[in-house]
Amino acid sequence: MRCSPILRGTRIPGTVLVLVALLWAVLPGLGAGLAAAQDIRFFRIGTGTTGGTYFPIGGVIANGISNPPGSRPCERGGSCGVPGLIAVAQATEGSVENISLMTRGTLESALVQADIAYWAHTGTGPYKGRPPALELRTIASLYAEAVHLVVRADGPIRTVSDLKGKTVSVGEEGSGTLVDARLVMQAYGVAEKQLKARYLRPGPAADELAEGRIDAFFLVAGPPAAAIADLAQRIPIRLVPISEKPADELLAKQPFLVSSTVPEGTYEGVAATPTVAVSAQWIVRADVSDEVVYGLTKALWHPNMARLLSNGHPKGRQIMIAGATAGLGVPLHPGAERYYREAGIPMDTDSAVPAGPGEPPPAKP
């Protein structure tokens, strides 16, 4: 049995090895299939914390793109993923950590915010002064992530400006939430030093708000986010609007942010709330082969994946191929671009930066 070139020389996580062992023991005929297989590819997708949206969506995608040797054929109700691929969703701190892990070669792919991917790829914004992450490529734009600012319903915070002097979780280090929380506060004239900043994961932040130890927390996630939905079942909450002139000025400066609304009923007892949002995108390393990425893209848009996504998370119903190439933070991978051209999907090439000079070597065959 050979390891795929995309993972050669890297340590296979224990969770993947356990998964392989279980597959060997449980799936009929898998042992013989593995022995006969010419190639098995292990593939990791960096996601986020369990209280956000990346982790459940990434898990569904990993399931849908996997197709271990010996699996029942797609046309017989089996896996419609990439032949020989075993994928796993890996929990992380979020977009910033995912970019770091990808540039170090310890992740093949990840879910990230479009703005974080763009800044990393171009060496701008929060990444100014760092080498551009030229090894990043896009498979697809997936769905919109809203900036949530969560407070207790009976609390005094009504606008972002009211955060001054309060104890606020602005997102954990390594998360896209922290980056966008800083942008939102800056738009409203709130400096991080003007509040008692905490850097918590979504779950602990929700717990501390419920217990009265913090006054508010930020979370950038596709609604409904699990941590907020669970919190709304425990105590009455509100979302603070991000709108009017400060939001308009923020949108004018940040092209990857768009005006959005968290609909009424998304969270129990919470009214429709205006906010800003950014696209969640599935990116991949440029050195993953064109053929593998073509297969990943094909599996992502297979009808079976649509069913998995729809049943796996409410946000999964919004993942549609019509928006796959819109608002890209980094260029499409050639394997993905080939699939979209064959499928007749327009290329939104004006929305993504070019690969540029000094780009990494071509993908391995």
DSSP strand pairing (273-285 vs 109-113): antiparallel
Q: How far apart are the first and last CA of the chain?
A: 18
The structural architecture, per CATH, of the domain 145-278 is: 3-Layer(aba) Sandwich (3.40)
pLDDT in tens, 83-114: 999 999 999 999 999 999 999 999 999 999 99
pLDDT at 255: 86
Predicted TM-score (pTM) of the model is: 0.82
Of 3.30.429.10, 3.40.1110.10, 3.40.1620.10, 3.40.190.10, the CATH number of 5-143+280-351 is 3.40.190.10
User: What does the pLDDT read at residue 348?
Assistant: 61
Task: Give burial (CB, 10 Å; 0-12/13-18/19+) of 263.
Answer: middle
Contact 151, 270 (CB under 8 A): no
Beta carbons of 216 and 195 less than 8 angstroms apart: no
Query: What percentage of the chain has pLDDT greater than the value 90?
Result: 78
Closest by CA position to 153, among listed 264, 274, 268, 51 = 268
Residue 129 region by backbone torsions, left for phi larger than 0, else alpha for psi between -120 and 50, else beta:
left
Using CA atoms, how far apart are residues 355 and 344, in angstroms rounded to an integer? 23
| CATH 3.40.190.10 domain extents, the chain | 5-143+280-351, 145-278
Is the CB of residue 67 less than 8 Å from the CB of residue 79? yes
- The pLDDT tens digits for 174-228 are 899 999 999 999 999 999 999 999 999 999 999 999 999 999 999 999 999 999 9
Q: How far is the C-alpha of 33 from the C-alpha of 19, rounded, in Å?
A: 16
| Per-residue model confidence as pLDDT tens digits over 239-263 | 999 999 999 999 999 888 999 999 9
